[in-house]
Structure 1
Amino acid sequence: MLPGRWRRPSPDPALDGAALLDVAGPEAIEVHARALAIGAHLATTLVVTGYPAEVTPGWLAPLLNFPGHLDIALHIEPVPNPVAAAGLKKQRARLESGRRAGFDKGNLDDPEVEAVAADAAELAYRIARGEGKLFHVALYLTVHAPDEDALAEQAAAVRAIAESLLMSVAPTTYRALPGWLATLPLGIDTLKIRRTFDTAALATCFPFTSPDLPPATGADGEAAGVLYGLNAVSGAPVLWDRFAQDNYNSITLARSGAGKSYLAKLELLRLLFTGVTASVIDPEDEYVRLAETVGGQVVALGADGVRLNPFDLPAAKDGEEDVLTRRVLFLHTFLAVLLGTDLTPAEKAVLDRAVLAAYARAGITGDARTWTRTPPTLADLTAVLAEDGSQAAADLDDRLAPYTTGSHAQLFNGPSTTATSGHLVIYALRQLPEEVKAPAMLLALDAIWRQVTSRPEAGRHLVVVDEAWLLMREGAGAQFLFRMAKAARKYWTGLDVITQDADDVLSSPLGRAIVSNAATQILLRQAPQAIETISENFHLCHGERQFLLSASRGEALLLTGDRRHKVALISVAAPGEHDVITTDPGELAAQHLNDGLDPDGGYIDQAASAGEWET
């Protein structure tokens, strides 16, 4: 080869262009006036020819979320500033000359011309100051379908969505092939049907908003979180990691039967596989089967010989000097919930002296070396009150009698009889009467909190409080739950509050504070009577309100505390997971029948089995 001359390189015999095209392209293309037959399916392209006057960020999301097969191509070509400035100058001159000609003829102002002139002037000034640029933008939509009828139906649906966004669309008549090529990922605009956008208008188109949450990744960049379900719009998996948020708390609100406990158990089961430990307040024994399956511990409060002593002291850490004082303060809260009324100042003073005296009689003082001694019991407290001699002490003694010598003495009076440690601890309260469930929940929460704050090794921990309305209706109980929500993050602990009564949570300042301290917020089906309160506090739009009113069992709206992300999802479980966490009476009765064989090898009577299960 002579210097300065170029010779075309010989083709690489290892690369066969025809073979590559056969693999990547369709086997055949048949061109019609408005559609293409691409292999075994049809496609037609729509061109956006008109746009709305005002848009908001993410306004193209309805097109992106179209449930059918739709390809969207947005072609952008920047316009050089000198060219843009010259074009705007000519446009402004044309508009101004038209306005002056109309004035000379005595015509009234044209509002549309005035608006266009003002927009052109503002845009020209922004470009001159370098605050924006102009772009040529083309938007094409290619619809795919297996046959002509389906193609017409899908194209009509896309056209309806576009028109609902105040866009004008037109088919690519006799230009079906260039239209399809314009939506391929080749970056070639074969139609060049464009409109001019400025920077602000173009920014509302990028990026397309998606109903999917951002991917959950850990510190090492690996996928994190657990599967909550499938996206109700796109069908994509919804992965969420509560321990990657600003705080690890969550709030779940739903009407009865909407599936809130099912979703909570599903998340709990999957978190256990990631090494998270958990404690659960279970008023209806819905988590017992789950605990038995994964080797957890069940503390059945109300059963014979099962008791927690409210006077137990937490394990002291080095440097702590106020363990006894904090325990006395908790006893004030516990006794207020136990008695069902707020204590008067006189009663608080008497109670404070009596609690300290009960600890002193047990040999426990402000000296940390005495904190490992056996703590007093509720009976010791009433003995001190009986010796006080004041009327307030006598009243307190009488009001505490049912819990020391009466019907509830086995639950609250005496030393603790069960350990509360393990990777999963369930506090089952179903055997308790409704009158003492709230103080029992508070006592269980206190045992959980003592366990969390005294763990020898740091690790992720989840505290689930199901049917939290039982505790929220008590002022002292709501305050304890609020303090726990505020401090849980310091111990790598998340608080999951689940309730079916939105008013008990959202009608009080403490309840709203608990919601505001939850970075993960889950709403399932709501009753019409509660939707206004839910919408106001969670800032729901009209579509989200309608979704919650018509949601099926297991459908939920997941919100982040900062309102930046939200997604509608459907909780899904594998058959093995479902068998462990379901509490549907019909399914449980069927499982009971399948497992209940009589000695002769036949199934036991169905009616008798159902009655026994209900008992």
Structure 2
Amino acid sequence: MAKKKRKGIDISGFVQIRSVRDGIITYDNNISAVLMKVGSLNLALLDEEEQKIKINQFSNVLSLIQGDCSIVKLERPMELTGYIENQQENLKIQHRKFKNGEMSEKGYNQRLKQVNYEKNLLTQYSESTPVLTNEFYLIIYGRSVEELVYAYNNTFEKLLHIKLEPKRCDDDEIKYFLYNVYNPLGNKTLSDFRNNSNFREDILPEFLEFHATKIKSDSMVASIQGIYDFPMNVGPTWLAPIVNIPNTTCVINIKHVPTSHARTLMDRAITEIKTQMLNRNKSSEDIAKQTQLESFLYILEEIERGSEILKQVNVLLMGYGVDQYDLKKINRTITSSIKQAAMKADKLICRQMEGFVGILPTPRDDIMNDNGRDMPSLTLAAGFPFVFQSLEDKDGILLGYNRTNLIFFDPTVRNPNRTNSNIMVIGKSGSGKSHFTKKLLLKMLLQDIKVCIVDPEGEYDVLTDRLGGQSIDVGAAVDSRINPFHIFGQMQEDVEEGVSEEKKKQTFKAIFSSHIQFLEQFFQSVIPDLTNKELSRLSEMMIESYRRKGIKEDEDFEDIANDKFPVIDDLLAIVEEKISKLSDLIVKEPNRSVDLGDELSDLRNLRVYLGRMGSGGALSGLWNGPTTISVENSDLIHFDFRKMTASKNEQVMNSQMMLVLRFLENEVSKNRERNIARKENKHIAIAVDEAHVFIDDKSPAALYFMFQMVKRIRKYNGIFIVITQNVNDFVGTESIKKYTTAIINGCQYSFIFGLNPADLQSLMELYASVGGFSQEERSFIGNAGIGQCLFVVSPGQRITMEKITISKDEEKAFK
């Protein structure tokens, strides 16, 4: 390929890179470098002790890098091509599902509109109104590739431990990084560097012109400044406001200072301070110098003990714009930010070329000799620039944005910091919680995640109707019945594949035993006055009812037809039979009336209790008969509890909730079986809205089932979503709190919208075991506006969402 003709000076010397191969950059002078992308962590959202831990950990990282290194912040338009392509795939999913009869034509048309809306929005962001995001990189230089790789791997592991989520860069990503350093306003994308052997030509600008106070290229006008004076006393993230100034590239060049030279430098600095103190004029200056002297003496002591390392640091800042007018505005922002940070900058007049060389990802920095400052690694670590909040999951849902960039969230991501897909959504009425949850479920559905909603107040009937889902009125008796005796597939603690027939029989026995225990809980929930003796007798008769139906405890219950399982009337028939036999026996043998009287009394009580549920009873239509619910051909299932909630019969409602969760447990289990059979990786989401409605200290079985679901669902490609506006109910009694706290511990993600002061205090209690919230976070939650929330991704990654974006087009799906 012929070389490009370039205007201006010969700039080929600015790319002294021989090769990029196997993740190693090799320069013309035989020095090599490795590059990793570094994530972000907002220290401001952590409490003071956690901040100290993270800073000390990062100081340890810097201390262990014996060679030169650089921290680079780039600002670039978010790469949205992949997200746009995802929408194209989502369109194919809707076409396939409609063809397979999984939704109505009405639902199909609405889903297509939603996918196309998202696709058009992302295209607009990509082409017309790009969203800029900050990216951080760490470059380590050295002569020995072997030592460099060791340092790289060691540093990578330690950054993982800090929760900075480092990412290894392949050769094409390294070339793209180099291009962005040279051309911060360039329009090339990563795809332009895939398998590009002529990258040296492609990363250079068309031309470069160096002036006294600025640089010109074909795509930008820029100016470089060097920070040379820093505050004596600094706090956490003291460098972040400078590093993260918009429309800038910031490079922190760091040179290792050998211990012997560090001692000499500190001795010289201490002598200089003492000399200045002898010539003092003002008492205020005397105090400042004394403080500085004590700091230097402490640093020297730490160096002597081997607890501190000195680094020579040079901070270079390149502001850029499309023209001179643009640059002037940016420079005003830079000047103001530097002044507010109590720092001083060298504008590098007539040294812009030297500044540009220092910005480039090479070990050369001629400005270091003049402006570089010796700095303890702990002080440098406290600068912690990586505070830019972002989440860009590859297949993520566009949730909204924080102060500067879009947030893409994929709940199915699994890594060492994200171990399950469960979600907690909390917020007071009117905070935007409900709209957000509907948007989240809508986007999951469009991405081929099966969605099941437990809805106490009929909030999701419109969404279900417009998206072609199936709505089930759980209080409508015959047409939506779940037979308590129906044995559904269950989620096990340990799941195995390819087991023997004998192992399968043992599994079926365990399922049968588990279901009998479930029935005991069910009847205790619906009959709270049940005594232990009555429950024991009832349990024996339940097992007998299965035997009489010819159902063995070690057979595959999935093969049994719905109408072959026992029903309440079958159990009542056994009760009646036993009452009749005992009554006849007592008549024949009056002397046995004492020892048989208790059993007869228990059976008569059971007959009364069960009579409400048997033929002719008030609850007969609800539970007395085969299961009639079928959801095989639907990917959106809505369990509407509105009528049951209105009846205010908490015992019946919680008992029905247990049955619904049992039914959904079977759906989760079947999802896994389908994945194994078809070699797929599909997910299923279960959302429980207004979960506090199902919390009852007198009948905690429904809450227990939610706890069990949260605990086990992660092994089945499941997502359990808990939504509530009443946090106080989650605190409740100690027995309630035991389960609600466990549910929160089992939720990887939390979206916390605005809360009232009382609820905020309850929130602190619930989240105490998972680290709680800092004062900054509590303040944000207490003052959050509509659609604002704290998004907890992991203990080390918390994002303040400035706005959950829900457009009018999206609202058409559920409002």
TM-score norm. by structure 1 comes to 0.75
Q: Report Cα offsets for 1:251-292 as digits up to 9, x if no partner.
A: 111112322232223222222333322322122233333333
**What corresponds to 2:811 in structure 1?**
578
Q: 1:155 to 1:250 in 2, by over 3 A?
A: same
Query: Aligned partners of 1:430, 1:93: CA distance in 2, in Å?
Result: 80
For 1:200, the aligned partner's letter is L
Q: How does 1:417-456 map to 2 (within 5 A)?
A: 417-421=628-632, 422-432=634-644, 433-435=647-649, 436-455=652-671, 456=673
Shift of 1:353: 2.2
Please, what is the CA RMSD of the aligned residues?
4.2
**What corresponds to 1:196 in structure 2?**
374
**What corresponds to 2:283 in structure 1?**
none
Query: Aligned partners of 2:366, 2:620: CA distance in 1, in Å?
Result: 82
Query: Aligned partners of 1:153, 1:423: CA distance in 2, in Å?
Result: 55
**What corresponds to 1:357 in structure 2?**
544
Please tell me whether the aligned partners of residues 42 and 148 of structure 1 are also in contact (alpha carbons under 8 angstroms).
yes
Q: 1:179 to 1:23 in 2, by over 3 A?
A: closer
For 1:358, the aligned partner's letter is S
Query: Aligned partners of 2:291, 2:328: CA distance in 1, in Å?
Result: 44
Query: What 5-or-longer segments of structure 2 have no aligned partner?
Result: 12-203, 281-285, 491-500, 580-598, 676-681
Q: Secondary structure at the match of 2:739?
A: helix
Shift of 1:246: 0.8
Query: Aligned partners of 1:45, 1:97: CA distance in 2, in Å?
Result: 32
Q: 1:545 to 1:190 in 2, by over 3 A?
A: same
Q: Secondary structure at the match of 1:278?
A: strand
Q: 1:135 to 1:566 in 2, by over 3 A?
A: same
Shift of 1:322: 2.6
For 1:482, the aligned partner's letter is F
Shift of 1:579: 0.8
**What corresponds to 2:720 in structure 1?**
495
Q: Secondary structure at the match of 2:522?
A: helix
Q: 1:441 to 1:211 in 2, by over 3 A?
A: same
Query: Aligned partners of 1:73, 1:25: CA distance in 2, in Å?
Result: 22
Query: Aligned partners of 2:723, 2:224: CA distance in 1, in Å?
Result: 49
Percent of counterpart pairs with the same letter? 20
Q: Secondary structure at the match of 1:368?
A: coil
Q: Secondary structure at the match of 2:480?
A: coil
**What corresponds to 2:516 in structure 1?**
328
**What corresponds to 1:467 in structure 2?**
690
Shift of 1:510: 0.8
Q: Report Cα offsets for 1:370-419 as digits up to 9, x if no partner.
A: 88261122233344445455444444443444444444332222222221
Q: 1:62 to 1:376 in 2, by over 3 A?
A: farther
For 2:6, the aligned partner's letter is D
Please tell me whether the aligned partners of residues 134 and 199 of structure 1 are also in contact (alpha carbons under 8 angstroms).
yes
For 1:123, the aligned partner's letter is I
Please tell me whether the aligned partners of residues 442 and 471 of structure 1 are also in contact (alpha carbons under 8 angstroms).
no
Q: Which moved more, 1:389-398 or 1:250-259?
A: 389-398
Q: Secondary structure at the match of 2:719?
A: strand
Q: 1:136 to 1:418 in 2, by over 3 A?
A: closer
Please tell me whether the aligned partners of residues 403 and 409 of structure 1 are also in contact (alpha carbons under 8 angstroms).
yes
Query: Aligned partners of 1:137, 1:526: CA distance in 2, in Å?
Result: 44
Shift of 1:445: 0.9
Q: 1:457 to 1:39 in 2, by over 3 A?
A: closer
1:398 to 603, 608, 613: 608
**What corresponds to 2:68 in structure 1?**
none
Q: 1:460 to 1:50 in 2, by over 3 A?
A: same
Please tell me whether the aligned partners of residues 241 and 337 of structure 2 are also in contact (alpha carbons under 8 angstroms).
no
Query: What 5-or-longer segments of structure 1 have no aligned partner?
Result: 1-11, 163-167, 217-222, 583-615
How many residues align? The count is 543
For 2:685, the aligned partner's letter is L
Shift of 1:136: 3.2
**What corresponds to 2:406 in structure 1?**
236
Q: Which moved more, 1:295-304 or 1:519-528?
A: 295-304
**What corresponds to 2:314 in structure 1?**
137
Shift of 1:126: 2.2
Query: Aligned partners of 2:398, 2:525: CA distance in 1, in Å?
Result: 35
**What corresponds to 1:113 in structure 2?**
293
Q: Secondary structure at the match of 1:581?
A: coil
Is 1:122 aligned to 2:334, yes or no? Answer: no
Q: How does 1:149-548 map to 2 (within 5 A)?
A: 154=333, 158=337, 162=341, 168-170=342-344, 172=346, 182=355, 185-186=359-360, 190=367, 192-205=370-383, 208-213=386-391, 215-216=392-393, 223-224=394-395, 226-244=396-414, 245-303=418-476, 305-314=479-488, 318-319=504-505, 320=507, 321-339=509-527, 341=528, 343-368=530-555, 372=560, 374-386=564-576, 387-388=578-579, 390-404=600-614, 405-421=616-632, 422-432=634-644, 433-435=647-649, 436-455=652-671, 456-458=673-675, 459-473=682-696, 474-507=699-732, 508-536=737-765, 537=767, 539-548=772-781
Please tell me whether the aligned partners of residues 473 and 641 of structure 2 are also in contact (alpha carbons under 8 angstroms).
yes
Shift of 1:480: 1.3
Please tell me whether the aligned partners of residues 140 and 179 of structure 1 are also in contact (alpha carbons under 8 angstroms).
no
For 1:378, the aligned partner's letter is I
Shift of 1:312: 0.7
Q: 1:153 to 1:413 in 2, by over 3 A?
A: farther
**What corresponds to 2:182 in structure 1?**
none
1:568 to 800, 803, 808: 800
Q: 1:397 to 1:24 in 2, by over 3 A?
A: farther
Query: Aligned partners of 1:16, 1:111: CA distance in 2, in Å?
Result: 55
Please tell me whether the aligned partners of residues 424 and 747 of structure 2 are also in contact (alpha carbons under 8 angstroms).
yes
Q: Secondary structure at the match of 1:513?
A: helix
Q: Report Cα offsets for 1:129-167 as digits up to 9, x if no partner.
A: xx63432333658598968997798468625752xxxxx
Please tell me whether the aligned partners of residues 525 and 654 of structure 2 are also in contact (alpha carbons under 8 angstroms).
yes
Q: 1:336 to 1:64 in 2, by over 3 A?
A: farther
Please tell me whether the aligned partners of residues 486 and 517 of structure 1 are also in contact (alpha carbons under 8 angstroms).
yes
For 2:571, the aligned partner's letter is L
Q: 1:95 to 1:297 in 2, by over 3 A?
A: same
**What corresponds to 2:265 in structure 1?**
87
Q: 1:126 to 1:141 in 2, by over 3 A?
A: farther
Q: Secondary structure at the match of 1:457?
A: helix
Q: Report Cα offsets for 1:520-562 as digits up to 9, x if no partner.
A: 122111122111232352521222212212222222211134x
Q: Report Cα offsets for 1:298-345 as digits up to 9, x if no partner.
A: 222223632211111125994322332211111122223323x37542
Q: Secondary structure at the match of 2:539?
A: helix
Q: 1:65 to 1:146 in 2, by over 3 A?
A: same
Structure with bigger helix share is 2
2:231 to 51, 58, 62: 51
Shift of 1:516: 0.6
Q: Secondary structure at the match of 1:281?
A: strand
Q: Secondary structure at the match of 2:630?
A: coil
For 2:401, the aligned partner's letter is N
Query: Aligned partners of 2:223, 2:529: CA distance in 1, in Å?
Result: 72
Is 1:17 aligned to 2:22, yes or no? Answer: no
Please tell me whether the aligned partners of residues 398 and 406 of structure 2 are also in contact (alpha carbons under 8 angstroms).
no
Q: 1:73 to 1:367 in 2, by over 3 A?
A: closer
Please tell me whether the aligned partners of residues 7 and 207 of structure 2 are also in contact (alpha carbons under 8 angstroms).
no
